[in-house]
Amino acid sequence: MMKGRHDDALKTLARLHARGNVNDPVVVGEYTNIKALLEEDGAMDQSWGIIFRDSTNLRKVFYGVVLQFSVQMTGVSAIQYYANDVYTSVGFAKDALLINSINSVTGLIGQALCVAFLDKVGRRPPLILGNIGSGITFVVATAMAKQFATGGGTKAQGIVFVVMIFAYNLIFSACIGPLSWVYPVEIMQTNIRAKAVGITTAASWLANFTIGQVSRKAFTSIGWKYYLVFVVCSFSNAIVFFLFFHETKGRTLEEMDHLLRTSHIIVPLAKIAPIDASAREREFARDYEGVDLAKQQAMAQNDEKDDYGRVQHIA
């Protein structure tokens, strides 16, 4: 719709919501809402300055940057980039590649779970509980890694370590990683979204680069103690998300903007009631029941103005 392809947009919404029925009230409602929002946003300032002059917009970008950094601080890149060293350190030198391959499949399963349940459970619970789960898995994994670093360590302890890494990857892929791309988009209004998400994406790769550069030296110098960084960061991530990150499920971009501008910055103190994921669809179904969008568009194309600039409707 931003490119003027209104018919394609309508047909796409119809496929998503109503098996191709362009006159379905949900389709009509969402189409009308998107069109109105784009017209409104088109008249708004879309410069870089609007991000940095507006404290709420700047806070949105800050949340996105924090989220992207938090993802890396759970240890995902360190495990992926140095998988061979990680598994070798717990007695699986010969099977490191196989273990990492299986772990990748575990990640795909987690992502599938995210797609299946994200709109049902929302964004806050996965971010909070996922980081708590991440911290717990690394607590156990760290304890196992310490056994090998101090000269002990059994095969069973090595297996427990691997299982914990698998569990971490499942939790990360279902609750943490995908949401780092979903959440920033859902709190940015259209007029700043492209630029703001560009900043948060840059933050993601900066954090990724940092972890990639630091991890080798960290594993060499402090060994198993490096995992404690991921433990601390995972639990602190959960606290930050609990305190500052509002739920976006079921809310429009404008609602999120209004919520961030007017509600208490501490989420539990804001006391905002959650919205059902299908609440907006029910509203559209109620408000646009019986509306024939194709007929309205055809009639609008025949509208003419009189000598005073007033619209004269021609049937």
- The answer on pLDDT for 265 being more than 60 is yes
pLDDT in tens, 134-175: 999 999 999 999 999 988 889 999 999 999 999 999 999 999
Of 9-18, 32-41, 267-276, 291-300, the range with the lowest mean pLDDT is 291-300
Nearest-angstrom CA–CA distance, 88 and 251: 47
Work out the percent of the chain whose per-residue pLDDT is above 90: 67
The confidence score (pLDDT) of residue 312 equals 45
Note the residue count of the chain.
315
How large is the average pLDDT for residues 86-112?
94
Q: Give this prediction's pTM.
A: 0.83
Of 40-49, 84-93, 185-194, 257-266, the range with the lowest mean pLDDT is 40-49
Query: For residue 107, what are its two tokens?
Result: 């990640």
Bridge partners of 311? 305
CB atoms within 10 A of CB 9: 18
Work out the percent of the chain whose per-residue pLDDT is above 70: 91
Alpha-helix runs per DSSP H in 151-225: 155-171, 179-187, 190-221
Domain ranges of the chain: 6-45+279-312, 54-243
CB atoms within 10 A of CB 218: 17
- For 105, counting Cβ atoms within 10 Å of its Cβ (0-12 exposed, 13-18 middle, 19+ buried), the class is exposed
Q: In Å, how far are 12, 128, 156, 251 from 97, measured between CA atoms?
A: 42, 31, 19, 43
Looking at CATH, the fold of the domain delimited by 54-243 is given as Growth Hormone; Chain: A; (1.20.1250)
When pLDDT is cut at 50, 70 and 90, the band that residue 306 belongs to is very low
The confidence score (pLDDT) of residue 81 equals 93
The confidence score (pLDDT) of residue 310 equals 44
